[in-house]
């Protein structure tokens, strides 16, 4: 049950009449019915009379009156009034609220209805490049994708998760090259995954070094040129008298400054890559001995793709080891995939896809490469390189075809870093050309994880932070807090507590941010018991369990045989209304795939609950029925928190 939705449906036919049955206009008007900002004005507020008045040339108040005359809200609303120029304030009927609460109480789904337009979704998330250590960015993709999949399925869609592993790309060429030239056999035998990631990092460093050496002069010249332009402009600015000219120059200067910053950053990166090697005598020797390492790595990759026996055998040896290593992280995060069809899965289909696109006239050769030229894009999408190699894009096209043909997907969500936005824009444009234009293809992009210093989250040595270490630290800190909260906690309980709170907090910190923004990784904030954190909600849940133990009432029999709810105080009614907004929150999440809207809802619920807890005793009530009514509110609160957190992939504890 979604009260907001029910209200909208009551208004729909009347508003449609006003806008000559224009569906999108009707929807836009209905979107102006919202939860009231201030409870004094009721539970919901409708502001559509203003724009409708403008359109029809009537006063908004008159519009509001006419709409209300035609709209029968009896039964659902207790009072409906028009305020100010034409705001409509809607207050839900107490009996209606109580009826809805009872049905939520009796329902394991808390009266969340299944959607009527169920769709087949594929959610592509996590998707790390195998052989390359997973980093903090992969947590974002993993927890956001996992939460969306859970929510979609809960509301009645059919969502399948797919871990589109990068198990076929250049990074494999890197470890193949590393294995052949730099391996430490003893280390490989005793700690294979450790050795593979050492090899990956080593090869990466050497490639970056040579790349930076080549680019260095170009980057230095570019920066110097920009700086000259900047000083010329400053000179011009000081000589210029005219206001509008000064304004124009200032704008140009600020544009140049931006470009200078970008160029300086690139140069900085290059010098760091060079220093990393030149400040280390061993690395310097290796770099000198492997000047062509970049090309050689590409060659190893190409050989793998062409079926070279040695490389295939090595790949078959490495892959399960790398996958096993990733699995330990997924197990700790409690994330499961329906499929993990990596890039290699599509290898055999790529040639035919390029041929098909060419035959249909969508792709053509340019400088030896096969390209799809697209309106609105500066560069084409390359689907086969000059040397015959296929690309990330080619595989993604094959993946779309596979998902449409085999799963009849109505929507594919790609939970991937925002930096890949251009890739996805092109991919979706090509897919549409190709005829896959009916499904919703959506890049659910997210920002960068930042450290407290305002820079991308990195270790001191400049490496990205490994995932296992991150999870360990979160659990360790959660254990410290648990020990502080209850001395003498048993070891087993402590471990479980640290896992549920530590991992839960880490996930929640990420999920509670608007995914589009960068977010700052901060252990202290994420584990705080106060604020919009998992620990706060888990604490609320445990609080309810504590209360129920104290008043010695088992809430379960009340679920099917409830007492009448009583709203003795305003806060009980407010908590009730908030409880009934769960479905609304879930449906808000799915509008633009933003799990933070569920977090916001749960946080509001937590805050309302703690106010209720402060103001309403369960022990000293005038009557048994009032006590039971409050028990029922507590029970619903705990179950809503538990279900909501579970949809975010986060657990709860009976005691904290
Ligand atoms: N493996 C890629 C990376 O780590 C992400 C893949 C995302 N999914 C996709 N279908 N392109 O950058």
- 1-37 tens-digit pLDDT: 999 999 999 999 999 998 888 899 999 999 999 999 8
Residue 305, pLDDT above cutoff 90: no
Whether the pLDDT of residue 159 is over 90: the answer is yes
Point out the ligand 1 atom lying closest to the alpha carbon of residue 392. 11
Shared domain check, 63 and 43: yes
237 Cα–ligand 1 center, Å: 47
In angstroms, the CA 479 to CA 472 distance is: 10
- Residues 346, 458, single domain; the answer is no
CA angle 436, 438, 440 (to 5 degrees): 100
User: Looking at residue 240, what is its pLDDT?
Assistant: 86
Q: Are residues 195 and 165 in the same domain?
A: no
Q: CA Rg, the chain, in Å?
A: 30
For residues 27 and 67, membership in a common domain is answered with: yes
Write a three-state SS string for 107-172: CCCCCCCCCCCCCEEEEECCCCECCCCCEHHHHHHHHHHHHHHHHHHHCCCEEEEECCCECCCHHH
Domain extent at residue 427: 120-131+140-170+313-447
Report the number of distinct structural domains present in the chain. 4
pLDDT over 80 at 458, yes or no: no
Ligand 1 centre distance from Cα of residue 463 (Å): 20
Dihedral of the CA atoms 164, 165, 166, 171 (nearest 10)?
Answer: 170
Quote the percentage of the chain above a pLDDT of 90: 85
Cα(499) to centroid(ligand 1), Å: 28
DSSP state for residue 440 in the 8-state scheme:
E
pLDDT band for position 255 (cuts 50, 70, 90) = very high
How many angstroms is it from 163 CA to the middle of ligand 1? Answer: 9
Residue closest via CA to ligand 1's atom 4 equals 128
Residue ending a domain, among 409, 430, 447, is 447
Contact 371, 365 (CB under 8 A): yes
> CA–CA separation, 638 vs 411, rounded Å?
33
Of 240, 259, 291, the last residue of a domain is: 291
Tokens of 445: 């992009």
- CATH (domain of 406): 3.40.50.620
Q: Whole-angstrom Cα distance, residue 571 to residue 617?
A: 12
Does one domain contain both 276 and 240?
yes
As for ligand 1, residues whose beta carbon falls within 6 Å of it are 124, 127-129, 164, 166, 396, 399, 414, 416
The residue nearest atom 6 of ligand 1, judged by CA position, is 127
Check whether residue 468 and residue 539 sit in a common domain: yes
Does 460 have pLDDT greater than 60? no
Tell me if 228 sits within 8 A of 354, measured CB to CB.
no
Q: Look at residue 115 and tell me whether its pLDDT is greater than 60.
A: yes
> Per the domain annotation, does 296 fall within a domain?
no
Residues 200-252 have pLDDT tens digits of 999 999 999 999 999 999 999 999 999 999 999 999 988 888 888 889 999 99
Say if 304 falls within a structural domain: no
Q: What share of the chain is helix, strand, coil (3-state, %, to 5)?
A: 60, 10, 25
| CATH number for position 513 | 1.10.730.10
The phi, psi pair for 135, rounded to 5°, reads -130, -175
Q: Are residues 108 and 88 in the same domain?
A: no
Q: Are residues 414 and 483 in the same domain?
A: no
Average pLDDT over residues 612-637: 95
Residue 386 maps to a domain: yes
Q: What percent of the chain has pLDDT over 70?
A: 99
Q: Are residues 99 and 72 in the same domain?
A: no
| Distance from residue 190's CA to the centre of ligand 1 (Å) | 30
Are 507 and 150 spatial neighbours (Cβ–Cβ below 8 Å)? no
Q: Which of 166, 339, 398, 415 to mutate to test the pocket of ligand 1 (most atoms within 8 A of CB)?
A: 166
SS3 89: strand
The predicted model gives 122-136 an average pLDDT of: 88
Does some domain include residue 505? Answer: yes
Q: What CA–CA distance (Å, rounded) separates 217 from 371?
A: 31
One domain, residues 86 and 15: yes
Angle 357-363-369 (CA atoms, 0-180°, nearest 5)?
Answer: 120
SS3 529: coil
Q: Ligand 1 centre and the CA of 533: distance in Å?
A: 29
Which one-letter DSSP state was computed for residue 439?
S
- Residue whose C-alpha is closest to residue 300's, from 217, 207, 238, 380: 207
Give this prediction's pTM.
Answer: 0.91
Does 298 map to a domain?
no
In three-state form (DSSP H/G/I as H, E/B as E, the rest C), the secondary structure along 549-611 is HHHCCCCHHHHHCCCCCCCCCHHHHHHHHHHCCHHHHHHHHHHCCCCHHHHHHHHHHHHHHHH
The answer to whether the CB of 627 falls within 8 A of the CB of 551 is yes
Regarding whether 498 and 435 lie in a shared domain, the answer is: no
Which residues neighbour 28 within 8 Å (Cβ) at sequence distance 6 or greater? none
* Residue-wise pLDDT tens digits, 306-343: 899 999 999 999 999 999 989 999 999 999 999 999 99
Locate the ligand 1 atom nearest the alpha carbon of residue 396 and give its number: 10
Q: Are residues 375 and 277 in the same domain?
A: no
CATH number at residue 72: 3.30.1360.70
In a domain, 500, yes or no: yes
Last residue of a domain, one of 426, 447, 468: 447
Within a domain: 433: yes
CA-to-CA separations, 228 to 225, 234, 254, 448, 483, in angstroms, rounded = 5, 10, 14, 33, 61
User: Residue 299 falls within a domain, yes or no?
Assistant: no
């Amino acid at each position: 049950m979604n009260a907001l939705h029910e209200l909208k449906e009551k208004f729909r036919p009347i508003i449609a009449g006003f806008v000559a049955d224009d569906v999108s206009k009707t929807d836009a008007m209905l979107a102006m019915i919202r939860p009231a900002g201030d409870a004094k004005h009721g539970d919901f507020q409708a502001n559509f009379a203003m724009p409708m008045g403008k359109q029809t040339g009537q006063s908004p108040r008159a519009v509001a009156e006419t709409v209300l005359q035609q709209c029968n809200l009896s039964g659902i609303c207790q009072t409906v009034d028009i305020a100010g120029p034409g705001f409509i304030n809607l207050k839900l009927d107490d009996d209606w609220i109580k009826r809805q609460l009872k049905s939520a109480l009796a329902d394991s789904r808390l009266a969340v209805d299944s959607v009527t337009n169920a769709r087949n979704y594929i959610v592509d998330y996590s998707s790390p490049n195998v052989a390359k250590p997973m980093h903090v960015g992969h947590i974002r993709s993993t927890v956001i994708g996992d939460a969306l999949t859970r929510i979609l399925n809960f509301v009645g869609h059919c969502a399948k998760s797919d871990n589109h592993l990068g198990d076929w790309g250049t990074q494999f060429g890197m470890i193949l090259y590393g294995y052949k030239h730099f391996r430490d056999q003893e280390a490989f035998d005793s700690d294979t995954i450790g050795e593979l990631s050492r090899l990956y990092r080593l090869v990466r460093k050497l490639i970056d070094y040579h790349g930076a050496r080549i680019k260095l002069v170009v980057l230095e010249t570019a920066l110097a040129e920009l700086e000259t332009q900047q000083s010329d402009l400053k000179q011009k600015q000081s000589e210029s008298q005219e206001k509008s000219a000064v304004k124009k120059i200032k704008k140009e200067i600020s544009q140049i400054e931006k470009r200078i910053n970008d160029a300086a950053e690139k140069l900085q990166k290059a010098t760091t890559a060079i220093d990393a090697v030149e400040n280390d005598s061993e690395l310097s020797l290796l770099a000198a001995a492997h000047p062509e390492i970049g090309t050689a790595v590409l060659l190893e990759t190409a050989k793998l793709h062409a079926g070279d026996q040695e490389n295939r055998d090595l790949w078959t040896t490495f892959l399960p080891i790398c996958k096993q290593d990733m699995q330990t992280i997924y197990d700790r995060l409690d994330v499961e995939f329906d499929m993990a069809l990596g890039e290699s899965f599509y290898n055999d289909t790529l040639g035919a896809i390029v041929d098909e696109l060419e035959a249909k006239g969508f792709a053509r050769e340019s400088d030896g490469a096969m390209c799809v030229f697209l309106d609105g894009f500066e560069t084409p999408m390359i689907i086969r390189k000059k040397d015959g190699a296929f690309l990330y894009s080619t595989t993604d096209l094959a993946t779309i075809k596979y998902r449409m043909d085999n799963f009849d997907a109505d929507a594919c969500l790609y939970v991937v870093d925002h930096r890949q936005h251009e890739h996805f824009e092109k991919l979706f444009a090509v897919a549409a050309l190709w005829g896959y234009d009916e499904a919703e293809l959506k890049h659910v992009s997210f920002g960068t994880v930042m450290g407290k210093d305002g820079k991308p989250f990195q270790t001191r040595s400049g490496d990205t932070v490994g995932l296992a270490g991150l999870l360990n630290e979160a659990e360790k800190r959660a254990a410290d807090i648990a020990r502080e909260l209850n001395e003498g906690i048993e070891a087993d309980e402590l471990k479980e507590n640290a896992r549920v709170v530590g991992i839960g907090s880490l996930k929640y910190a990420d999920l509670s941010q608007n995914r589009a923004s960068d977010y700052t990784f901060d252990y202290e904030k994420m584990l705080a018991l106060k604020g919009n954190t998992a620990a706060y909600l888990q604490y609320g849940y445990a609080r309810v369990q504590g209360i129920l133990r104290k008043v010695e009432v088992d809430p379960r029999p009340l679920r099917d045989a409830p007492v009448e709810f009583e709203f003795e105080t305003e806060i009980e009614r407010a908590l009730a209304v908030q409880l009934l907004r769960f479905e609304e929150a879930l449906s808000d999440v799915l509008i633009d795939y933003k799990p933070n809207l569920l977090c916001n809802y749960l946080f509001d619920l937590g805050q309302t609950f703690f106010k209720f807890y402060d103001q309403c005793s369960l022990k000293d009530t005038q009557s048994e029925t009032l006590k039971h009514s409050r028990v029922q509110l507590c029970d619903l609160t705990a179950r809503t928190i538990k279900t909501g957190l579970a949809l975010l992939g986060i657990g709860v504890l009976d005691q904290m």
